[in-house]
Chain A
Amino acid sequence: MNRFSYVRARDAREAVDVVSAHPTARFIGGGTNLLDLMKEHVTHPSHVVDITRLPLKGIEDTPDGGLRIGALVTNSEVAWNAEVKRRYPLLSKAILAGASPQLRNMATTGGNLLQRTRCYYFYDVGTPCNKREPGSGCGAKTGFNRIHAILGTSEQCIATHPSDMCVALAALEAVVRVTGKDGERAIPFADFHRLPGDTPQLDTNLKPDELITAVELPPEGFAAHSTYLKVRDRASYAFALVSVAAALTLDGGHVRSARVALGGVAHKPWRNPEAEALLTGKPATREHFQAVADALVRGAKGFGHNTFKIELAKRSVVRALEEAAGREGQP
């Protein structure tokens, strides 16, 4: 870990000021990813700005009937919150599928959105990585890439986004509230994370000085018909090879609307509204789920060790939609 200045921010303004004055400064909340990366010498902030004393810890109803989750609410608090469990069981289930209880007790809502990839090469400073060191090359593409992306990859980078929570938030079409030098703004979840393209070093569309203050959930929580399916190499405490957040509203046996987000397959939670639309008005049957699955992974490309993810993703989507459709009521 490099030497840095520690600043305990008293309000959001102060936090933003420090970070905007120092290009490599970082906010710290739970610290579960930042400190990990600092110990690996992947990240070297000049300043670490402690935001944990800021008043961003509430979970409250929004006027439109949604729910607003403060950026510093821990993953555990969200997952076990009675309102979240009742109205957004998909979110609760996704969070509990991630990390470990200890990490969930530390990790914050805002921080979860900013998790960086688990790519082996990104983490190992003894190897090339365009995300860590632009221009150094991508070790993963021709190397060991079992956990890597099959969708939305670029010549520069085939890393995946590691979060489970974000996959659920993508399906729920959450909105990310941020504040920065230029004031506050709201970012639709689909626009929050980026694909790697030619700038794999950028994970999100946050401006350098912006601080996440909250995540807002829209009123529709798909409580009756949703699920989070995580497929991984061991039963717990492992990152997803493929995960699926599936959410349906049903009208009798027919689908009124469908949302499917994939994790573990791309640089951001992967959605395709056109694929989802294939289900609209259709019977909730395996055959139609299969069509969505095929459409979702259209154009997917494997790199050897991870090619299996294409078939796995399809099967996972079908399974998740079946579970969501069959799901009655509460978690």
Chain B
Amino acid sequence: MKRSEGSTVGGVAPPEEPTKQRLSLRVNGAEKQLDVAPWTTLLDLLRETLDLTGTKKGCDHGQCGACTVLVDGQRINSCLTLAIMKDGCEVTTVEGLARGDALHPVQEAFIEQDAFQCGYCTPGQICSAVGMLAEGHARTDDDIREQMSGNLCRCGAYPHILAAIQQARRTSAKGEGT
């Protein structure tokens, strides 16, 4: 039977000291080689190690969506993701959406529609919206409301978040047409 190096079949006690493992990630287009402890979540890695604090920690339990990032294009909760499990993946955070000075259409629309107040859920809302638009399952306004329901906004900006996504979708559709 083959076993991977460092696997611990046969009674090795769990480590008390951090045994870090090598992790390769592409974060917002940049290659990163990192040594991480297995219990470090992708969220904590982004915020504490990479200083990418745009991704927020609202609950740390997958109950609010503030930590939403795109992994290989899919929106996920980074708080319930062990960083080490994403070895070799491409991670896009809110800091990686704009192209230079040009904001992503969803970011533009969030500003224009005043789709936030305190701003703390906003990066998660925006990443979630980008992920949702890519998924392509939202046809109606009700679809958008339902498919954006994994992102709490305590300020209650929901109607404006809906409006922003509608606007971004219009802009993107126009962009594709030209």
Contacts and interface: CB of A to CB of B under 8 A. Distances in A.
Interface in A4-47: 4-11, 13-14, 17-18, 21-22, 28, 30-32, 35-36, 38-40, 46-47
B139 interface: no
Contacts of B80: 30-32, 35-36, 103, 106
Contacts of B149: 100-101, 235-237
A7 B8 contact: yes
Q: Which of A9, A76, A103 has the most CB of B within 10 A?
A: A103
A35 B150 contact: no
Contacts of B10: 21
A102 B16 contact: no
A125 interface: no
A330 interface: no
A80 interface: yes
A2 interface: yes
A3 B16 contact: yes
Contact of B81 (A8, A13, A17, A31): A31
Interface string B65-76: 100100000111
A14 B3 contact: yes
B23 to A, nearest CB: 11
Contact of B2 (A14, A52, A80, A106): A14
Contacts of A52: 85
B175 interface: no
A4 B39 contact: yes
B75 A105 contact: yes
Interface of B: 1-4, 6-19, 21, 38-39, 41, 60-62, 65, 68, 74-77, 79-82, 84-85, 128, 131-132, 135, 137, 146-147, 149-151
6 contacts: A5-B12, A14-B2, A18-B8, A46-B14, A52-B85, A100-B149
Given A3-B17, A100-B77, 4 more contacts: A4-B14, A99-B150, A100-B151, A101-B128
